[in-house]
């Protein structure tokens, strides 16, 4: 592991200046420890904790990829890979009032469908509600969904989208990585899809290592050669 970088476990004492996501740092009154496994990164004398684990907690405004798991009277139940089941109303989906006499819900969305949606509201007392009113939101009609640990998404996207753009350019796939750990791929062919998935899974496994971009690039090039893409 590179200098200034180490893996830390729950209960271990962190340097007092450590910053990071609030819910992953435990304050013991005088000292801090990580709440999950993660990387303690030292840069320019400053310590940053980056969690390697954790479930997706919905946040208002997040764009997520959800799986329709059930149907209510005026809404769908959506699995957003979080402890909380989300709700998408038919009215929102239609963008107009829902009339159960004339609108057939099952013609709009079915159990098993994926939707790209935005978290409209969520707090500690109520389950998250979704909206598909927005550009690029709605039912996902083509491509493939890959699941990764939600904590890996920032690394898969990379700084200023560097990683995801690189994979996209090298494979020709259109890639959308949603914060809830689901990645939507639209690829020109099966080989490039397989290569993109290999690359994503490698990043998921090796998030905590340095020089990852170069190794992912190398993996893609080798795979392309092997597959003759």
Partner 1 sequence: MARKDDVTLFREDGTRLDGRRPDEMRPIKMEVGVLDNADGSALVEFGRTKVLAAVYGPREPVQKYIVIPDKAVLRVRYHMAPFSTSERKSPAPSRREVELSKVIREALEPVVLTDQFPRTAIDIFIEVLQADGGTRTTGLTAASLALADAGIPMRALVGGVAVGKIQGRLVLDIDEVEDNYAEADMPVGAAPDIGLITLFQINGVMTREEVMKGLDMALEAINRIVEMEKEVLKSKYMKVEV
Residues that bind partner 1 (CB under 8 A): 1, 7, 9-13, 23-24, 26, 28, 33, 35-37, 51-55, 57, 83-85, 124-125, 149, 151, 205-206, 208-209, 211, 215
CB of 42 to partner 1, least distance (A): 17
CB of 79 to partner 1, least distance (A): 10
Compare residues 113 and 206 and give the one whose CB is closer to partner 1.
206
Strands 182-186 and 144-147: antiparallel
Compare residues 119 and 187 and give the one whose CB is closer to partner 1.
119
Residues in the chain: 229
Q: How far is Cα 97 from Cα 109, in angstroms, rounded to an integer? A: 16
CB of 222 to partner 1, least distance (A): 16
Contacts of 207 (CB under 8 A, 6+ apart): 52, 151, 152, 155
CB of 99 to partner 1, least distance (A): 30
- Tokens describing residue 69: 């798991």
CB of 167 to partner 1, least distance (A): 19
Compare residues 80 and 173 and give the one whose CB is closer to partner 1.
80
Compare residues 33 and 171 and give the one whose CB is closer to partner 1.
33
- Tokens describing residue 136: 């690029």
Compare residues 106 and 125 and give the one whose CB is closer to partner 1.
125
Tell me how far CA of residue 153 lies from CA of 5, 53, 54, 178, in angstroms.
20, 11, 12, 7
CB of 125 to partner 1, least distance (A): 7
44 near 4, Cβ under 8 Å? no
Compare residues 13 and 19 and give the one whose CB is closer to partner 1.
13
Mapping DSSP onto H, E and C, the string for 127-154 reads EEEEECCCCCCEECCCCEEEECCHHHHH
């Amino acid at each position: 592991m590179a200098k200034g970088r180490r893996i830390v476990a729950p209960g271990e004492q962190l340097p007092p200046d450590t910053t990071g996501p609030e819910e992953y740092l435990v304050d013991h009154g005088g000292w801090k420890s990580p709440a999950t496994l993660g990387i303690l990164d030292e840069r320019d004398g400053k310590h940053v904790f980056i969690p390697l684990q954790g479930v997706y907690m919905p946040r208002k405004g997040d764009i997520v990829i959800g799986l329709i798991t059930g149907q209510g009277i005026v809404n769908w139940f959506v699995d957003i890979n979080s402890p909380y089941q989300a709700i998408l109303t038919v009215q929102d989906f239609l963008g107009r009032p829902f009339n159960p006499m004339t609108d057939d819900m099952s013609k709009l969305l079915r159990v098993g469908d994926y939707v790209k949606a935005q978290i409209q509201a969520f707090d500690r007392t109520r389950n998250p509600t979704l909206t598909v009113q927005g550009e690029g939101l709605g039912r996902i009609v083509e491509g493939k969904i890959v699941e990764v640990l939600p904590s890996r998404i920032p690394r898969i996207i990379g700084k200023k989208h560097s990683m995801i753009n690189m994979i996209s350019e090298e494979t020709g796939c259109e890639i959308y990585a949603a914060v809830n750990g689901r990645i939507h791929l639209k690829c020109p062919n099966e080989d490039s899809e397989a290569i993109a998935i290999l690359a994503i899974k490698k990043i998921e496994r090796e998030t905590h290592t340095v020089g990852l971009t170069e190794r992912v690039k190398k993996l893609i090039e080798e795979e392309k050669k092997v597959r003759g893409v």
